[in-house]
Chain A
Amino acid sequence: MSKEEHRIVKGQVMVPYELALGRTWCHFFDCLKEEKIMGKKCRKCSRVLVPPRSFCPRCFEDMEEWVEVSQEGVVETWVYVNMPFFAQELKIPFISAQIRLDGSDSGFIHQIAGIDLSDFDKVRERVKLGDRVRAVWSTEKKGNILDIAYFEPVK
């Protein structure tokens, strides 16, 4: 059978959502506006998690204690993204990274930027696992994750 005989019909589904942020995450984003990165500490296992949780996933206990963590940390892993897909929020190329902020016990997902990203071979020389990076803040705060504009390598 030739391809012409396979009739394709185009379709699209669009649905709007209104998502409740909840108290814990609301406080996290309020603190971002003040250029503070907050985690929550579990009184049972003592781990500090960023993003903060209302309860510890491992202990199932309420997490009540807020702890400010460092704006610097170590790159645990990263990926150079140069692959477009529908509804992508960031412009390619960009670097997604898992960063262990000092004073926290989990990896924080954000982007590494502030360097020339156009040439991958140069990026590879600049960004390494185990390197230190620090938060760079957006001048205009919107109360979302991009209030931290990106993380940049610490020289």
Chain B
Amino acid sequence: MGKAVAIIGTGQTKHGRRSDVCYPDLVRESVTTALQDAGITLKDIDGVVLGTMPSMMEGVSSTHFYFAEAMGALNKPVMKVETCGSTGQSIGHCGYYWVASGMADIVLVVGSEKMSEGDGQATMTTVFDPFFQRTFAAGAPGVFTMQSMEWMYRFNIPEDKGREAAAMISVSNHDNAMDNPHAHIRVRVTMDEVKNARIITYPVRLLDVCPASDGACAVIFASEEKAKKICKKPAWIKGLGFRGEEFFYGESDKAIWMSATEAAKEAYKQAGIRNPLKELDVAEIYNPFTYQEMIFYECLGLCPRGEAPDYVLKGTFKKGGQLPCCPSGGTLCSNPIGATGLIRLAEAALQVTGKAGARQVGGAKLALSHAMGGVDQFNGVTIVGSKL
């Protein structure tokens, strides 16, 4: 690890269909809120990092040009980083690196997406290679369904059991989103509604799948000296990990998923965490699909391989359970992709600083945030804590 780094402010838009604003104004909404939250002005910012989905999603290439003013980046160094779904974690890591290196005192990190303006699945398809696999690509649902089927088969998880646990994840995420004023989807759903919803890509049904959201998130990173001076309760970065694997789908084992497993291991090592299920107080896991959330529980070491459905069914990851996951309602209820991984980090920071409002997990001191990107290729994890 480099020098100590803290998160001193976060800002989120109301996520959802935001055709009331043009894209730069949506970005500025998150930046203004984060600056207010940190109690600083643009003058205090030394550098700016932006992340979004690939240009095919935005319809405008290299959006750090388009958003330069909205991010307050005039006469400041600007970086753009994108890793598809894991973009939000990548830009968070980038903000951390910049401050931890000692080259900047305060860095503004912004992630955004306006999913309603483009075609998310057509964009995802262009992430596949053009010669071998793109022909058979079916966007994100296609990939995640193939992965979920392989995982259930590998660990002999009966279809009914997998279905029951996935439905429970959908219900609890939707319940949690009711506590989050930023969330896109805010309706309660029942087990029966999830299990009988329209099939998207079997066994994945409509209520197993995230919405396409517009939204932005800004997070402000500061050095130890600045954080202690400016902020009463900073969220300290305790550890981070990022790993990638082979590009061609089918070449690595997605039921075990090396990149997710190793990214978490690295973050735990840096944070000195030996038993994540016991030591973590809350986790914000990237869960665009209910079934995939269970694979993540296993990869992140929160339960043994093949046992995630058992842990879900006994309520381990529900509100009030041993390790509440996604008290924000998660990616399942809001997914402005370029912002999503950063929202996970912002939510983790809110939790350990006691600022999460109705979705606060009482007394949370150590929180995990995570995101996944590409055709199941990249995974990033960041752990924040209330103590340096």
Contacts and interface: CB of A to CB of B under 8 A. Distances in A.
Interface in B116-166: 119, 121-122, 125, 130-139, 141-142, 145-147, 149-150, 153
Given A77-B146, A98-B150, A83 B121 contact: yes
Contacts of A119: none
Interface residues of B, number: 35
B149 A96 contact: no
B192 interface: no
A111 B133 CA distance: 10
Interface string A4-45: 001010010100010101000100010000000000000000
B146 A86 contact: no
Contact of B138 (A6, A77, A96): A96
Nearest to B129: A51
A154 interface: no
A113 to B, nearest CB: 11
A106 interface: yes
A120 B202 contact: yes
A116 interface: no
Nearest to B55: A13
Given A81-B201, A83-B201, A109-B250, A96 B142 contact: yes
Most chain-B CB neighbours within 10 Å: which of A21, A78, A120? Answer: A78
A111 B119 contact: no
B59 A13 contact: yes
B131 A107 contact: no
Given A87-B125, A108-B250, A81 B142 contact: yes
Contacts, number: 104
Contact of A107 (B20, B201, B249): B249
A106 B251 contact: yes
Nearest to A104: B250
A123 B294 CA distance: 26
Contact of B149 (A17, A90, A109, A129): A129
A146 B201 CA distance: 23
Contacts of B200: 83
Contacts of A108: 250
A79 B201 contact: yes
A62 to B, nearest CB: 17
A57 B251 contact: yes
Contact of B150 (A1, A51, A76): A76
Contact of B131 (A25, A106, A124): A25
A145 interface: yes
Given A76-B150, A130-B153, A145-B131, A106 B136 contact: no
Contact of A81 (B20, B138, B147, B246): B138
12 contacts: A19-B131, A76-B150, A79-B138, A80-B201, A81-B201, A82-B199, A83-B138, A85-B121, A86-B121, A107-B251, A109-B136, A120-B202
Q: Which 3 A-B pairs have the closest CB atoms?
A: A107-B250, A77-B150, A86-B122
Given A6-B19, A83-B201, A106-B248, 18 more contacts: A6-B20, A13-B59, A29-B131, A49-B251, A51-B131, A57-B247, A57-B251, A79-B146, A79-B201, A87-B125, A96-B138, A97-B136, A98-B250, A106-B250, A106-B251, A107-B249, A145-B131, A145-B135
